Amino acid sequence: MAPPTAPVPERRPKKLEAHGDIRVDDWYWLADRDDPAVLEHLRAENDYTEAVLAPLSGLRAELFDEIVARIEETDLSVPVRKGPWWYYQRTEEGANYAVHCRRPVEDDDPPLGAGREGEVVLLDENALSSGHDFFAVGVLSVSPDHRWLAYGTDTTGAERYTLHIIDLEGDEIVAETVPDVYYGLSWANDNATVFYVRTDDAMRPFQLWRHRIGTEPSADTLVLEETDERFTLSTGRTKDGLFVVIALQSTLTSEVWTIPAGSPGDEPACLAPRREGIEYTADHHRGDGDEGWWVQLTNEDAVDFRLLAAADGDTGAGRWREILAHRPGTRLDDVDVFDRFVVLAERLEGEASLRIAPLDVGPDPFGDDLFERSWLLEPGEHPATTWEGANAESEARLVRYERTSLVTPRTVLDLDVATSKSVVRKRQPVLGGYAAKDYSTKRLWATAEDGTAVPLSIVHRRDLLGPDGVTLAAPAPTLLYGYGAYEHSVDPVFSSLRLSLLERGFVFAIAHVRGGGELGRRWYEDGKFAAKPHTFGDFIAAARHLVAEGFTTPAQLAGRGGSAGGLLIGAVANLAPELFAALVAEVPFVDALTTMLDTSLPLTVGEWEEWGDPASDPEIYAAMRAYAPYDNVRATDASGAPLRYPRLLVTAGLNDVRVGYWEPAKWVAKLRSANPENEVLLRTELGAGHGGPSGRYDAWKDEALVYAFLLDALGVVTTSA
């Protein structure tokens, strides 16, 4: 039988010019989703991918069965207390989506287990998803009096939701629904008013609206609109429930507005006016008397952020005082203000950590320096990840937090701040006899070309180690993962799915490259704008380090990344194709220059503070021109010989509003055109968006496909050891 033939989209050259530079894009037309030839081509690509991967169908099925067999399909989250109720969600075997529930509070210990006694089902996503290929809940919030449930649904993956409100006492959907809402919703304390967010035509959340239960959506009131296209709008409530918060945020600048939750008709008030380059978030402490306190996490005079406080009504310029000083190199990520203590999320030596700071009793709860009386929740292993869990009540004496590592399954704990003692509430079940002692994890450091030390987190089976107990007995197939943008940190967390690779002798590694937030704000800033190439160089340095230290060889090494991490994979494919046997680029941002020049596309203007504005800045244009994967596909190597890229699996989402489906589609066409010998596969979700399929079983099938591709590409196609 003849091998499958890759689709060849028609060339329709389009000239693109900026700053005197001319680019010719042969496949620009693929961005026109109204052209019938576009969908025809995407379907042909899907058919081709399935045909090429057909010999792996048995392996894909085997991997999917393994993934499912390790998961407790019928499971229950640890309930979170909110007033007289425990709130939680559960999953059921064979069902794709969660069921949201609550039970009455009987004692201080959360009810664990899958019993149904006293359970009230709030929302069954499985029932709502019936008849839809895609289904997602983007908003889910119970009113302060626990009577009403507001939830938003999306059935296309385009991240535009329809807001519904349920009367939990009568289980009746209120007649009016509110169309076209976005993430974020806040209840007022009258239990009748909700604030919701809307987007503009470019999918930028820019408006806050007020809706009152029992009124038509046409009567809703526009509360605040952000006209600066660099800024996005979000909403929430302060921990103590006294204020609705409206956060306006660009990549570099913040502004917070507030509305008393008890007076939802009031005009919003600005907490601290925006100043270019100053970022801040705010929470509120109700205080012991009439006076409350605002707490502000800010980067003003503090690259890695510090903490300020000001009394209610006394928050003008110069009225804020420092309560936690800047600690250079230790990034203060977040603050959660309880009545009797503060929880601080920080990055200590590249790891996500939690710090607890008890508050004073009296008129000044914060004192002069929170750090002096604070203490760190030690993880007990490195590298590890610790983060705050769901904590709904400011008056709580316990703090819910979670912890994991590359070998330790996700663990949910409750900390008694008064005694500093933690109780394990649940450890992620891993069926099939998993034992953490059978695996080894460690932190490595690679050296980039400019001398910068780049951290890696790795995991592998312990029996792969040689006699010295440090290095591997022999090089192993390895998957290197990276992201490196938006100050987003890729933390070392456990994945039961990943065991299908580890059991087959894989090494899994995360390259904590610049552009992420692992090592503080400077780490992020050194991987953006014209410094973006540092992100790619760090990943290449990590790959070379793994080879040099005997963990793997280029013939056994694969790379993976998604979205901005897909840009990383695309750039690395151009810069160092010889280092990898295979690459996986999921919804990759590979046509970065063209997208950042097109202000008609969703999110472009707001993204300029991350990538730069190539339309007005020639330096940024030149930098992006030099690294954008689509513009730098190579046909030949340095000697002039035809260049063979690693085997590539590329994914896209037709309804993706973050990375247009046409970016990966164009890139794949150009890679094949550069060299017909390039083995490139494109798989487009025709009914989903940026996050891929919505159901958990469908997502596991996708992961099985990726694993099968990797096992085949690296020559590891045997069953698990």
Q: Which residues are catalytic?
A: 563, 656, 690
User: What residues does 200 pair with on adjacent strands?
Assistant: none
- Interatomic CA distance for residues 284 and 268, integer angstroms: 16
Mapping DSSP to helix (H, G, I), strand (E, B) and coil, where does residue 149 land?
strand
Torsion (CA) 218, 222, 223, 229 in degrees, nearest 10: 150
Contacts of 271 (CB under 8 A, 6+ apart): 256, 257, 258, 282, 294, 296, 315
In one-letter notation, the amino acid at residue 334 is D
CA-closest candidate to residue 237, choices 289, 300, 193, 204: 193
- Under a CB-based contact definition with an 8 Å cutoff, are residues 148 and 213 in contact? yes
User: Can you give the three-state secondary structure of 208-269, one letter per residue?
Assistant: EEEEECCCCHHHCEEEEECCCCCCEEEEEECCCCCEEEEEEECCCCEEEEEEECCCCCCCCE
- Interatomic CA distance for residues 398 and 305, integer angstroms: 26
Contacts of 616 (CB under 8 A, 6+ apart): none
Q: Which helix (H) or strand (E) holds 621?
A: helix 618-627
User: What residues does 310 pair with on adjacent strands?
Assistant: 294
Contacts of 669 (CB under 8 A, 6+ apart): 8, 9, 26, 27, 30
CA-closest candidate to residue 494, choices 368, 587, 386: 386
Instruction: List the alpha helices (DSSP H) in 23-143.
Output: 36-53, 57-69, 125-129
User: What residues does 481 pair with on adjacent strands?
Assistant: 510, 560
Mapping DSSP to helix (H, G, I), strand (E, B) and coil, where does residue 347 land?
strand
Contacts of 88 (CB under 8 A, 6+ apart): 76, 77, 78, 79, 80, 100, 101, 102, 103, 110
**Alpha-carbon separation of residue 618 from 16, 318, 571, 668 (angstroms):** 15, 39, 20, 28
Mapping DSSP to helix (H, G, I), strand (E, B) and coil, where does residue 437 land?
helix
What is the pairing mode between strands 193-199 and 205-212? antiparallel
**Exposure class string for 60-99: b at 16+ Cβ within 10 A, else e:** bebbbebbbebbeeebbbbbbbbeebbbbbbbeeebbbbb
- Interatomic CA distance for residues 384 and 380, integer angstroms: 8
Per-residue tokens: 590? 């590979």
- Under a CB-based contact definition with an 8 Å cutoff, are residues 29 and 14 in contact? yes
668, burial (CB in 10 Å: exposed 0-12, middle 13-18, buried 19+): buried
